[in-house]
């Protein structure tokens, strides 16, 4: 019923399970290295998100649900679009499209930060630091978009 593969003599000695474990372990390593969590843009955006979120609560009460809410949502959108795009990364154009959304959300976050800096100079320092960090992130996102456009999946036949 079953074809003898020649591995049967190793089953009793446990060698087959050892080889199988090594193969499984290598597969797990490869899966873990292929993740959006390894992208610099994700790491930076994920680090900036809680900072922007917490800083938004420095705004006057009447702004918490206006400008405060907008900055919380746009900074979250930067990360979310990286993750969702990576989930579709087997389709280069889809991935690139989500990176464009990510870049747009980053620009939107910068715009909100600039409005806060102008409107509330007494708390501007915290927001100036965030603006500078989001500006740097925007440059990295732009460079990554260019790389994806030119090189993504180029070795796949």
Tokens of 46: 């994920």
Output the pLDDT for position 154.
Answer: 72
In contact, 118 and 80? CB cutoff 8 Å: no
Q: What H or E segment, with its residue span, contains residue 149? A: helix 124-151
Chain CA centroid to CA 7, Å? 43
With cut-offs at 50, 70 and 90, classify the pLDDT of residue 156: low
Supply the mean pLDDT for the chain: 85
With the CA atoms of 65, 102, 50 and 59 taken in that order, what torsion angle do they form, in degrees rounded to the nearest 10?
-30
Write the class of the CATH domain 39-151: mainly alpha
Sorted by where each begins, the domain ranges of the chain are 7-35, 39-151
With cut-offs at 50, 70 and 90, classify the pLDDT of residue 153: confident
pLDDT (tens digit, 9 = 90+) per residue, 41-74?
Answer: 999 999 999 999 999 999 999 999 999 999 999 9
């Amino acid at each position: 019923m079953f074809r003898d593969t020649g591995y049967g003599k190793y089953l009793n000695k446990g060698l087959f399970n050892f080889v199988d474990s090594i193969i499984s372990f290598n597969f797990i390593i490869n899966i873990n290295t292929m993740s959006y969590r390894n992208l610099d843009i994700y790491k930076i955006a994920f680090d900036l998100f809680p900072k922007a979120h917490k800083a938004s609560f420095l705004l006057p009460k009447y702004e918490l649900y206006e400008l405060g809410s907008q900055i919380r949502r746009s900074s979250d959108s930067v990360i979310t679009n990286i993750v969702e795009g990576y989930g579709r990364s087997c389709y280069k154009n889809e991935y690139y499209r989500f990176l464009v959304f990510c870049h747009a959300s980053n620009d939107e976050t910068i715009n909100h930060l600039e409005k806060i800096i102008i409107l509330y100079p007494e708390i501007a320092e915290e927001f100036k630091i965030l603006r500078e960090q989001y500006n740097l992130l925007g440059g990295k996102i732009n460079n990554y978009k260019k790389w994806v456009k030119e090189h993504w999946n180029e070795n796949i036949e």
